[in-house]
Chains A and B, each alone.
Chain A
């Protein structure tokens, strides 16, 4: 194992404890868990509204969303949280000397293929997270912390499907 490379990451259990404390802080202050995909949805709805306000007015989905999320993305908890993630990730990367533009991929595939599959994966994840009412952080992680049945189901199916399909996608990663 490459020593100085692995040293830059903290022990996963310690990382888990810290992440758990961050999650607990979120529950204590704001009464809710972490999330990610909701921030994208908030931004998407706001963009659609800017591009075509009439479309938003005539589509039930956007109308309902706007009613339940008054104030737009700037008043959205998740949007601010994701902005924080960008800052926090940058700080950590800067300390560890990992700031670098690059495309990470298996030596067996080219960068182009990796990017294409990243987009495809993103489309699936984006769609699935909206259907499943939350992504790995919003539904699975936060849901498990409050023992929500839905959180456990979502978690089991995310990882279960990924395991089931791992063999077919092995060239992308190993």
Chain B
């Protein structure tokens, strides 16, 4: 048989198959499991509620809070300035611009940390940078920032400093606290936004 016919018999069916199947749009994980585990162990993704509160008070434009709870919970209550990307929508294409960028510091939060951590793990595995998780979640945020407990009188001084700051933050952010001036609030050190190299397309050509 003619070689051309043999070739045609082989590649035309393959061509029809490839034309008929949908394209593989799965987004590949860019980080290997050990790399991710390493980052989880170091807890690099966590940002404390105090840091968040401080950035909110200072109206830091680089902060972008992302509420990963469902829409109902978001409508009921959310931290001012947060946007809502439910965990189930985290992979949809329209959210990619928010999640895959290197300008803002995204902080995920949910009621606890589980859902937020899941969101972080997914985005991190896709190779996105600048995504973080609020430590303790919304519950802890409410507990520490909105309604801080006065430390016992035997606590060290920095506990009191923290308490004063939280009181102030609470007042500034509309919590149920008292009117303590924010002037003596120690400013939490700003988390540095770590830039990690992205996986790049191969450079080639003649």
Known interface pairs A11-B3, A13-B7, A17-B7; A31-B205 also in contact (CB < 8 Å): no
B96 nearest CB across to chain A (Å): 22
B181 nearest CB across to chain A (Å): 54
Known contacts A32-B203, A38-B206, A134-B205; 17 further A-B pairs (Cβ under 8 A): A13-B3, A30-B202, A31-B201, A31-B202, A32-B204, A33-B204, A35-B205, A37-B206, A38-B205, A78-B206, A129-B206, A130-B206, A133-B206, A134-B206, A137-B206, A138-B206, A139-B205
Q: In the complex, what distance in Å separates the CA atom of A68 from the CA atom of B204? A: 11
User: Is A56 located at the chain interface by the 8 A CB criterion?
Assistant: no
The closest CB in chain B to the CB of A68 belongs to B203
**Which residues of chain A are near B204, meaning CB under 8 Å?**
30-33, 35, 77, 142
Q: Mark B130-163, 1 if CB is under 8 A from A, else 0.
A: 0000000000000000000000000000000000
For A14, give its contact among B3, B201, B206 (CB under 8 Å): B3
Q: In the complex, what distance in Å separates the CA atom of A1 from the CA atom of B120? A: 68
Residues 136 to 174 of chain A near chain B (Cβ within 8 Å): 137-139, 142
**Which residues of chain B are near A134, meaning CB under 8 Å?**
205-206
User: Is A46 located at the chain interface by the 8 A CB criterion?
Assistant: no
Q: In the complex, what distance in Å separates the CA atom of A41 from the CA atom of B205? A: 11
A125 nearest CB across to chain B (Å): 11
A98 nearest CB across to chain B (Å): 22
**Which residues of chain B are near A45, meaning CB under 8 Å?**
none
Chain A interface, number of residues (Cβ within 8 angstroms): 25
Residues 50 to 75 of chain A near chain B (Cβ within 8 Å): 68
User: How many B residues are at the interface, by size bracket?
Assistant: 10 to 19
Q: In the complex, what distance in Å separates the CA atom of A37 from the CA atom of B202? A: 18
Q: Which 5 residue pairs are nearest across A and B when measured between Cβ atoms?
A: A32-B204, A31-B202, A138-B206, A134-B206, A38-B206
User: Is A36 located at the chain interface by the 8 A CB criterion?
Assistant: yes
Of A13, A32, A68, A135, chain B has the most CB atoms within 10 Å of the CB of A13
The closest CB in chain B to the CB of A31 belongs to B202
**Which residues of chain A are near B3, meaning CB under 8 Å?**
11, 13-14
19 A-B pairs with C-beta separation under 8 A? A11-B3, A13-B3, A13-B6, A13-B7, A30-B202, A30-B204, A31-B201, A31-B202, A32-B202, A32-B203, A32-B204, A32-B205, A33-B204, A35-B205, A35-B206, A37-B206, A135-B206, A138-B205, A142-B204
Residues of chain B having any CB pair with chain A under 8 Å: 3-4, 6-7, 201-206
Q: In the complex, what distance in Å separates the CA atom of A77 from the CA atom of B203? A: 10
Q: In the complex, what distance in Å separates the CA atom of A77 from the CA atom of B204? A: 9
**Which residues of chain B are near A77, meaning CB under 8 Å?**
204
B141 nearest CB across to chain A (Å): 44
**Which residues of chain B are near A32, meaning CB under 8 Å?**
202-205
**Which residues of chain A are near B4, meaning CB under 8 Å?**
13
Q: In the complex, what distance in Å separates the CA atom of A13 from the CA atom of B202? A: 30
**Which residues of chain A are near B7, meaning CB under 8 Å?**
13, 17
B131 nearest CB across to chain A (Å): 26
The closest CB in chain B to the CB of A36 belongs to B206
Q: In the complex, what distance in Å separates the CA atom of A78 from the CA atom of B6? A: 34
